[in-house]
Amino acid sequence: MKTTIVCAICVMAAMLSGCTSPLSEGINYYHQVAPEVRIGMSKEEALSILEPATAMLPEDEKRPPEVFTNDKGQLVEIYFFRSNAYYDDVLTDDEFTPYMFTDGRLMAIGWAALGGPKTQGMPYPRTNYHFGVGYGYHHW
């Protein structure tokens, strides 16, 4: 009986303590530092602020940058930073915020410059009960 009560207390304490994962830590860090990034910054300046958030993430929770030359011959680089998470087992565009650099300068932040996200997650309904990792809705 004592063991059951102690286990129940431990589970409740863990639920109330707000245990964090590397994914939630990375997303929280991103939201702390993102306001420091401004249009017109050099790529080096902006990435020095944002990349520590990505470094915290597991490899399967990251998205590689896209690089191409536009019709004006300018180098365009789009970096994606994890800014949200839907625990639906699908990694979708709306879980990232894109940063578009043209010839080494930050020209756009967000999906508007790219025509909007192509894929969207299907979050689980909100719940106050979490029966394990990956279940329920998490909001940052």
pLDDT tens-digit profile of 116-133?
Answer: 888 777 665 545 444 455
Q: Is 68 exposed, middle or buried (0-12, 13-18, 19+ CB in 10 A)?
A: exposed
Identify whether the C-beta of residue 85 lies closer than 8 Å to the C-beta of residue 133. Answer: no
Whole-prediction pTM value?
0.72
How far apart, in whole angstroms, are the C-alpha atoms of residue 65 and residue 77? 7
Q: Judge whether residue 64 has pLDDT over 90.
A: yes
